[in-house]
Amino acid sequence: MKLVIAGKGGSGKTSISGTMARLLARSGRRVLAIDGDSNPNLALTLGIPIERMNDLPTLSRDLLRRTADGQELTRTLAEVCESHSLTGPDGVSLLVMAHPQHAGTG
Amino acid sequence: MRSVIEASPDEDVCILDTEASPEHLARGTGRHADAMLAVVEPYYKSLETGRRMAVLGRDLGLSRVSLVANKIRDDRDLEAVQEFAGKHELELAGVIPFDEALPGAERAGAAPLDFAPQARAVQAIGELAGTVCK
Ligand SMILES: Nc1ncnc2c1ncn2[C@@H]1O[C@H](COP(=O)(O)OP(=O)(O)OP(=O)(O)O)[C@@H](O)[C@H]1O
Ligand SMILES: [Mg+2]
């Protein structure tokens, strides 16, 4: 199940994404939460200390390869998560797409 | 980002928290998702943005697109969202009450689930999760 959370600024996307991720993980699912905001703040709602985010390498262009209809990962998602994700409370994996200074790699 | 979504295995749950801009979605971020929840507050601009995003989601071919009502304070708020959803033939997947526990958690620098696990909004998000990821 791949779920996109959309909506107007400030509507509650991040609160809902983070809390849903934690609750689904508690119910036994393997959950990957992706922060696609160029000003990432999903970590807090997941209960991951902000300091830990600073150690996180962001996804860089060399992980992506151009294809006819867009881009694909040059490594498996498991490998990308291994090197680029954080594991937070209840075992939720967090992948952060961009830091403000790296905006546009998504 | 859409490459990451595409690559994630189906048996797991992958939740993508997006930026507020419709352009973001239109670029195809959502294309490989199965479902979209458009979070709306009970006022016109928020509802209208949610509707536009839902339409984009449908155009991208997502099999399930629905609204989620958030920060609902009373029956009037709820009726406003229900009426809007009905008028535009959009499913309302969940209703989350306005709850001080969420900004409270934020001020405390904690996750809502750790700060106030019994809060009504947290419970409602749990119900939503159950509805969406059966
Ligand atoms: N049900 C609710 N009741 C009360 N306050 C809420 C509720 N949901 C979210 N909020 C508050 O509204 C604000 C915005 O929430 P949040 O950051 O989740 O929205 P967002 O859509 O991710 O915002 P952005 O577009 O900036 O990413 C936060 O202060 C949050 O605590
Ligand atoms: Mg947000």
Q: How far is the CA of B70 from the centre of ligand 1 (A)?
A: 9
Give the pLDDT confidence score for residue B7 in this predicted structure.
Answer: 67
Q: Residue B82: in which H helix or E strand, if any?
A: helix B75-87
Architecture of domain B2-98: 3-Layer(aba) Sandwich (3.40)
Check residue A34 and give left, alpha or beta (phi > 0: left; psi -120 to 50: alpha). beta
**What residues in A contact B32, CB-CB < 8 Å?**
2
**What is the pTM assigned to this prediction?**
0.90
Give the pLDDT confidence score for residue B4 in this predicted structure.
Answer: 67
State yes or no: pLDDT of B78 exceeds 70. yes
Q: Please, which pLDDT band fits residue A105 given cuts at 50, 70 and 90?
A: very low
Flag whether A3 is in a domain.
Answer: no
Look at chain A and report how many structural domains it folds into.
Answer: 1
Q: How far is the CA of A35 from the centre of ligand 2 (A)?
A: 8
Give the pLDDT confidence score for residue A36 in this predicted structure.
Answer: 86
Q: What are phi and psi of A78, to 5 degrees?
A: -60, -40
ipTM of the complex: 0.92
Q: Please, which pLDDT band fits residue A54 given cuts at 50, 70 and 90?
A: confident
Question: Which range of residues forms the domain containing residue A37?
Answer: 13-96
Percent of chain A with pLDDT over 90: 47
Mean per-residue pLDDT over chain B, rounded: 90
State yes or no: pLDDT of B103 exceeds 60. yes
* B115 touches ligand 1 (CB under 6 Å): no
State yes or no: pLDDT of B130 exceeds 50. yes
Percent of chain B with pLDDT over 90: 74
Sheet bearing B35-40, strands edge to edge: A85-87, A93-96, A31-35, B13-17, A2-7, B35-40, B64-72, B91-97
Domain boundaries defined on chain B: 2-98
Q: Picking from A45-54, A91-100, B119-128, which range would have the lowest pLDDT averaged per residue?
A: A91-100
pLDDT tens profile B18-49? 887 766 666 666 677 889 999 999 999 999 99
